[in-house]
Structure 1
Amino acid sequence: MGASAYAEPSAEVATSPSSSPSAAASTSAKPKQTATPEAEAVNGWIPVGDAWRKQVAAFKATKADPPPADAGNLPEFRADCKYSHRLADDPIVFPGLPGASHMHSFVGNKAVDADTRTADLTKFTATTCKPVKDRSAYWVPTLYDNATRKPVETTGFRVYYRSLQNNSAGQMPMPNGLRMISGDAKKKEPTPRGAQGQFYCAFYGPGDIDGVARSTNGNWPICGGDATLHFTLRFPDCWDGKHLDSPNHKDHVAYGSGNACPADHPVKIPSLTFEIQYGVKGSKAGYYLSSDPTGKSASSMHGDAFVMWDVDAMNQRTKNCIVQRRTCNNDGYDPFSY
Structure 2
Amino acid sequence: MGRNTRKRRTPLATKIVAGAAALAVGGGGLVWANFYASAHEDHGGHNRTRSAGAQVATIDCPDVGQKIRDVPDRARGEVDGELATMDSQITNAYQRLATTRRAQAGDSQFVQNSILGPLKDRRKAIIDRIQLEINRAGGKADDNLDELAGCQGRPADQQNGGGQNGGGQNDGGQDDGQNGDGQNGDGQNGDGQNQDDNGNGVAGPVADDFVDINDVQPNSRNSRNGLAANGDGGSTGTFATDCGVNENNLFNSDNLIAAPGVDNGAHHTHDYVGNQDNDAFSSDEDLANADTSCQNQGDKSTYYWPVLRLQDGTQEFDANDQGGGAEGNIGKILKPAQAELKFVGSQQGDVVAMPKFLRIITGDAKSFTNGDANANTSWSCSGFEDRQVTDKYPLCPEGSQVLRTTNFQSCWDGQNIDSANHRDHMAFVQEDGSCPEGFQAIPQLQVRLAYDIPTPTVENGQVQNPYAVDSFPEQLHKPITDHNDFINVMDEDLMNEVVDCINRGEDCQ
TM superposition shift of 1:238: 1.1
State how far apart, in whole Å, the 1-side matches of 2:491 and 2:31 are.
Answer: 37
Establish whether residue 219 from structure 1 lines up as the match of residue 392 from structure 2: yes
State how far apart, in whole Å, the 2-side matches of 1:255 and 1:221 are.
Answer: 26
1:32-88 Cα distance to aligned partner (Å, 9 max, x none): xxxxxxxxx997xxxxxxxxxxxxxxxxxxxxxxxxxxxxx8411011222141101
1:303-326 Cα distance to aligned partner (Å, 9 max, x none): 01011012101102211x211122
The one-letter code sitting in structure 2 at the alignment partner of 1:164 is S
Taking the TM superposition and a 5 Å limit, the aligned residue runs for 1:272-287 are: 272-284=445-457, 285=464, 286-287=466-467
SS at match of 1:129: coil
The one-letter code sitting in structure 1 at the alignment partner of 2:283 is R
Is the CA contact 1:255–1:261 (under 8 Å) kept in the aligned structure 2? yes
TM superposition shift of 1:3: 2.2
Establish whether residue 289 from structure 1 lines up as the match of residue 352 from structure 2: no
1:155-199 Cα distance to aligned partner (Å, 9 max, x none): 22221111132322xx2112110000010110128xxxxx98442
**Cα RMSD for the two superposed structures:** 3.4
Establish whether residue 322 from structure 1 lines up as the match of residue 495 from structure 2: no
The one-letter code sitting in structure 2 at the alignment partner of 1:146 is Q
Is the CA contact 1:81–1:108 (under 8 Å) kept in the aligned structure 2? yes
Residue 72 of structure 2 is matched in structure 1 by none
TM superposition shift of 1:128: 1.6
The one-letter code sitting in structure 2 at the alignment partner of 1:123 is N
Residue 52 of structure 1 is matched in structure 2 by none
Establish whether residue 112 from structure 1 lines up as the match of residue 278 from structure 2: yes
Give aligned-pair identity as a percent.
28
SS at match of 1:81: coil
Residue 240 of structure 2 is matched in structure 1 by 78
Residue 143 of structure 1 is matched in structure 2 by 308
Taking the TM superposition and a 5 Å limit, the aligned residue runs for 1:35-184 are: 74-82=236-244, 83=246, 84=248, 85-101=250-266, 102-124=268-290, 126-148=291-313, 149-168=331-350, 171-184=351-364
TM superposition shift of 1:291: 1.4
State how far apart, in whole Å, the 2-side matches of 1:269 and 1:162 are.
Answer: 9
State how far apart, in whole Å, the 2-side matches of 1:273 and 1:140 are.
Answer: 13
TM superposition shift of 1:89: 0.7
Residue 485 of structure 2 is matched in structure 1 by 304
Residue 336 of structure 1 is matched in structure 2 by none
The one-letter code sitting in structure 1 at the alignment partner of 2:273 is V
State how far apart, in whole Å, the 2-side matches of 1:298 and 1:129 are.
Answer: 28
Residue 235 of structure 1 is matched in structure 2 by 408
| Larger helix fraction of residues | 2
Is the CA contact 1:167–1:259 (under 8 Å) kept in the aligned structure 2? no
Is the CA contact 1:12–1:103 (under 8 Å) kept in the aligned structure 2? no
SS at match of 1:260: coil
Q: 1:209 to 1:113 in 2, by over 3 A?
A: same
Residue 160 of structure 2 is matched in structure 1 by none
TM superposition shift of 1:248: 1.4
Q: 1:105 to 1:178 in 2, by over 3 A?
A: same
Is the CA contact 2:470–2:477 (under 8 Å) kept in the aligned structure 1? no
The one-letter code sitting in structure 2 at the alignment partner of 1:184 is D
Is the CA contact 1:237–1:256 (under 8 Å) kept in the aligned structure 2? yes
State how far apart, in whole Å, the 2-side matches of 1:117 and 1:301 are.
Answer: 26
Note the residue ranges of structure 1 that are not aligned, 5 or more in a row. 26-40, 44-72, 190-194, 212-217, 331-338
1:2-29 Cα distance to aligned partner (Å, 9 max, x none): 9228xxx966998xxx99734999xxxx
TM superposition shift of 1:122: 1.0
Taking the TM superposition and a 5 Å limit, the aligned residue runs for 1:21-32 are: 21-22=84-85
Is the CA contact 1:220–1:282 (under 8 Å) kept in the aligned structure 2? no
Is the CA contact 2:376–2:407 (under 8 Å) kept in the aligned structure 1? no
State how far apart, in whole Å, the 1-side matches of 2:138 and 2:505 are.
Answer: 37
Q: 1:310 to 1:243 in 2, by over 3 A?
A: same
TM superposition shift of 1:93: 0.8
Pick from 255, 270, 280 the counterpart of residue 428 of structure 2: 255
SS at match of 2:355: coil
State how far apart, in whole Å, the 1-side matches of 2:275 and 2:28 are.
Answer: 26
Q: 1:166 to 1:11 in 2, by over 3 A?
A: farther
By relative contact order (CA 8 Å, sep 6+), the higher-ranking structure is 1
Is the CA contact 2:404–2:448 (under 8 Å) kept in the aligned structure 1? yes
The one-letter code sitting in structure 2 at the alignment partner of 1:144 is R
State how far apart, in whole Å, the 2-side matches of 1:264 and 1:317 are.
Answer: 23
Is the CA contact 1:109–1:136 (under 8 Å) kept in the aligned structure 2? yes
Is the CA contact 1:165–1:256 (under 8 Å) kept in the aligned structure 2? no
State how far apart, in whole Å, the 2-side matches of 1:236 and 1:196 are.
Answer: 10
TM superposition shift of 1:282: 2.9
State how far apart, in whole Å, the 1-side matches of 2:31 and 2:251 are.
Answer: 13
Q: 1:172 to 1:108 in 2, by over 3 A?
A: same
**What is the TM-score with the length of structure 2 in the denominator?**
0.46
Largest Rg, 1 or 2: 2
